[in-house]
Structure 1
């Protein structure tokens, strides 16, 4: 008779069964926890209220980072730093304040300013002595926040924008005592131009104010005056991204024009007199000459667009005299619906940037003396007559006779800024990639690259044939940093050899 053999599970098999049982229980528990968490989340969302985040996240978000001190905004005499003080994150009530959104431009209509000045302004200002560390608190008017502080050229005063709930004004503080007062009674139009600037003599502040004879805000018709129309480039695929904010109709265009049209003005900080310059316009930037007699202005131009944001709208750049008369046309830049070329356009600017008008690269005011300076290509007739040699100082062109000469020259443009009111200051043997001028206008600092090698040189305008090489390095890209009216220089690259 056959024997029946009973198979008993091994210890390993029993262990596997136990593990599977525990795993099944864990999966079931996890599913139960997930279901409970989903139900809890749904119940929380159904309440439709703000909730407090976990303590770890709340601690990170509410950390008092704004108490950190960064020593910036140094006075022209290098004796003090200006500190902008914050009171922390904006409130939910502040974020909820009514504002317009005009194709990328957020406007606080109650105060005629960019929304960023309402939401991100500083709570106070203090002056820090660079030697002793002593702090002087600037007396800010009650109920105001602070934006765009600016040192006077003699370092004795600080001008700033005081933002009240219903308007912004220019205030000026004494650097020694911290006491400040209102510079003019006219409210600012700080939607596109959100900064202020001094004239070189320290007597005036340049600003854009609300026009004195401004009409009431346009009102949207109760019934639409026509259909919604969109035109695009025939047969051209749209090169634009999808923008979160665009103008929606004719009323938006009129409302935008209303809130960006301001009056250029010169404010006497001693007498508080306000001098209006020219007619109101849609200013996007203003750059006064050091003596306050001329102004480089950029204005937004219609037509506007439903396809791109305001920073791609057409602009016109001109030179004005103190009466508002146009003395020179610099650049008419049309509406840019294609290709995509979104650019910022607020504030006083234009000093020494590469984005000058065509034929006038690095256009900027002379830091000392009258006029402006810029870089232009050496005319071909001059190059041919000189056999490829630089004129007005500088070295011979690398191309030589019959070669390809890429020479450029630095030109001073004198008042009244006619076509022939120019003087060549220096001719370089190659294209100029960076340019700066000393505060006394006696020394040029030029950056150039050729054959994979970059260099920065200094040129004494009293002895232009002599070039002083500050830095020369293969693979180096010359780059000058900006810092107010005076500019330093620096760049990117590894270890270098100074020649």
Structure 2
């Protein structure tokens, strides 16, 4: 009896240990089949000049190291800054540059590159003969110049640039100098939050005005943050020539944006101001828009925006007053901006939402109205005809997009609506207007004999066939001048290199052929000229079966997904295999657009860090990018029936693959990232379709995002039942399926802060569910460090093998 009591106590104590203890585990690596697909060299990114003559190859490592991610980081006002180097702590760096003529096979090595290069912010000079770029060293950021003709580089500044708010330089129009943001001499010491002694409490005030904002990350929290933010974004502006000679151009300020007028005679800046906010990121801080002459002489302040904490409710809300400043691309120095006619409030009924104005240099007198838009204004494309321009206006609530043709010189002419459609209706997408460089060096739509070109993705019910159309602006008829005819490849049309000669830059790939670039001449029998020759680094996936399958949901809605069969799978034998379903829900306002497929079986099979394609090497069937539409037509919002539609999508996907005879439907896993993680937790709570789940970087309690999330613009107080029903946290007691939760400890995405996974795991653990929480140090919403990614894959592999492949 005594022995029995001892054994019983030992078992209870052992069980308590398993419930409460943490696992101290170092970084792990997945099995060789997966590892061999992860650590492969990347093909370079490319830059091409405006004539399509010179290619620049930019090389980088596939991943950062955990050591790089562990460098000092300050999170302030929505920025993530390395305070020692004064550039984004999350910047992506290149480490080598090579050059190639499109007319030659020879690839040139660039001479004179810095030791251990960390290169970023590449920018062509206006004449495309040089490229400026930054190099980050241990003490800061330098500015370098690449001479394309000689394939040499040289440094023109010391490591004193301020790149904390993006690219820190602009080219002057004469190609001989750059405007550069430099750290000011009077920069004060930063405050160390860990050791600073508080001077008082931090106090926020609400004075009866609604300020319904999303749950932004990395906001300022106290006066010390305010001090540090100001010191890190203040800059002096210098003019620096190609030999490194410099002269002070403008006084110290918190410069956010800078842009030259097309003729180079003026520079428009956006400068941040105080008071800062603890509720919104820096893009909604007070700011002023100013005009300087090209010699640095201050000319005029043209706009001031107060602290933008308070906006009307809704995704289509905006500020009162002037916004969206730009330069008119077909004139030397004409400012363009928009103003809301509804006071920025989408609930106000008006005939037109926005009005667009212009003001020519010297920016005095009365601004001239050039256009009113029915929906919210979202941009203008200028043309080579001063009497014709194209503008866009959209409305999120109806997913409507309108394209206007108007005369900017005569506002008495009524604008014509060229296109008016649901922008989620990909089968009806007319394409994007093709642009060329004008004499001012700006991109404009080229009108030739009253006709313009359009370049479209070409999604259809039968597949994807990219196209180039000619549209008559007079009778609005289109003529197809080129359409990709590939049935076993995928073509993507990028840009016009020479529109008159019919030359376009295109990319061509297949499921087994790595994407390469070509010049296609649509005027010469669609002749192709290959200009890159990148090889497939993922040889082990070359013969994997891949197809887009289509199937129907119970309510008749057509769905699709990309199906992969395991390496070496014999379709004739139809051996039952475990399956992984990976998806991401998307909201639609009608069933027509929700049923459309944009998957292409001919796209290259590329196993990036977050992919589940790796598991075809481990005997799994994979259904990737499965359609998970959430539809709300008319007055019904998509999320009113979120759970029902979610389960319906999942059941339809499993039924479809099961019907093909490939899977054991008792061994199906589901997974997703971000909103896909939210989907996964809901599916496991409200269905018995799955053996296990993987949820990465998700949000699980919608009451922690009370003023909207994803495409839900109603607040918690508008629709409390929706927030409750959609929150997996509220239904943690229903979780009976093993769930692997993974989250970056430094997640910066709105709403998916790490607390979401921690609290959800605590609930699951307290209720006795089978779950595992993995917090990845230093990682943000997407994961970057090689150590993290290898461990992520190991965790997923162990989980799937235990609870899916080897499920009892």
Taking structure 2 as the reference length, the TM-score comes to 0.44
1:92 aligns with 2:69: no
Residue 81 of structure 1 contacts residue 127 of structure 1 at CA under 8 Å; is this kept in 2?
Answer: yes
Shift of residue 175, structure 1, vs aligned partner: 0.4
Residue 327 of structure 1 contacts residue 417 of structure 1 at CA under 8 Å; is this kept in 2?
Answer: no
How many angstroms apart in 2 are the aligned matches of 1:217 and 1:342? 38
Residue 326 of structure 2 contacts residue 336 of structure 2 at CA under 8 Å; is this kept in 1?
Answer: yes
How many angstroms apart in 2 are the aligned matches of 1:464 and 1:220? 56
Moved more, 180-189 or 238-247: 238-247
Q: Match of 1:311?
A: 283
Q: Match of 1:486?
A: 443
* Residue aligned with 1:475, SS: strand
Shift of residue 291, structure 1, vs aligned partner: 4.9
How many angstroms apart in 2 are the aligned matches of 1:165 and 1:221? 23
Q: Match of 2:390?
A: 446
Distance verdict in 2 for CA 1:179–1:92, change over 3 Å: same
1:130-145 mapped onto 2 (5 Å cutoff): 130-139=102-111, 140-145=113-118
How many angstroms apart in 2 are the aligned matches of 1:487 and 1:60? 42
Shift of residue 125, structure 1, vs aligned partner: 2.2
* Residue aligned with 1:81, SS: strand
Q: Match of 1:333?
A: 305
**How many residues are matched?**
411
Distance verdict in 2 for CA 1:186–1:103, change over 3 Å: closer
1:413 aligns with 2:360: yes
Distance verdict in 2 for CA 1:294–1:224, change over 3 Å: same
How many angstroms apart in 2 are the aligned matches of 1:111 and 1:334? 31
1:475 aligns with 2:452: no
Residue 325 of structure 2 contacts residue 338 of structure 2 at CA under 8 Å; is this kept in 1?
Answer: no
Distance verdict in 2 for CA 1:481–1:247, change over 3 Å: farther
Distance verdict in 2 for CA 1:474–1:63, change over 3 Å: same
CA RMSD of aligned residues (A): 4.5
Q: Match of 2:136?
A: 163
Shift of residue 195, structure 1, vs aligned partner: 4.5
Residue 76 of structure 1 contacts residue 151 of structure 1 at CA under 8 Å; is this kept in 2?
Answer: no
The structure that has the greater radius of gyration is 1
Question: Please, which of 50, 55, 68 is the counterpart of residue 27 of structure 2?
Answer: 50
Q: Match of 2:333?
A: 371
* Residue aligned with 2:114, SS: coil
Distance verdict in 2 for CA 1:375–1:111, change over 3 Å: closer
Residue 279 of structure 1 contacts residue 324 of structure 1 at CA under 8 Å; is this kept in 2?
Answer: no
1:9-408 mapped onto 2 (5 Å cutoff): 46-64=23-41, 66-67=42-43, 69-71=44-46, 73-117=47-91, 120-139=92-111, 140-185=113-158, 187-218=160-191, 224-235=197-208, 239-269=212-242, 271-322=243-294, 324-339=296-311, 358=321, 363-366=326-329, 370-374=332-336
Moved more, 169-178 or 281-290: 281-290
How many angstroms apart in 2 are the aligned matches of 1:342 and 1:209? 39
Shift of residue 285, structure 1, vs aligned partner: 0.9
Distance verdict in 2 for CA 1:141–1:256, change over 3 Å: same
Moved more, 197-206 or 326-335: 326-335
Distance verdict in 2 for CA 1:258–1:433, change over 3 Å: closer
Query: Per-residue CA shift, 1:377-428, capped at 9, x if unaligned?
Result: 9xxxxxxxxxxxxxxxxxxxxxxxxxx89997874612x32225x789xx67
* Residue aligned with 2:478, SS: coil
**Structure 1: unaligned runs, 5 residues or longer:** 1-34, 344-354, 378-403
Q: Which has the higher contact order (CA 8 A, sep 6+)?
A: 2
Taking structure 1 as the reference length, the TM-score comes to 0.68
Residue 99 of structure 1 contacts residue 107 of structure 1 at CA under 8 Å; is this kept in 2?
Answer: yes
Residue 144 of structure 1 contacts residue 165 of structure 1 at CA under 8 Å; is this kept in 2?
Answer: no
Moved more, 213-222 or 104-113: 213-222
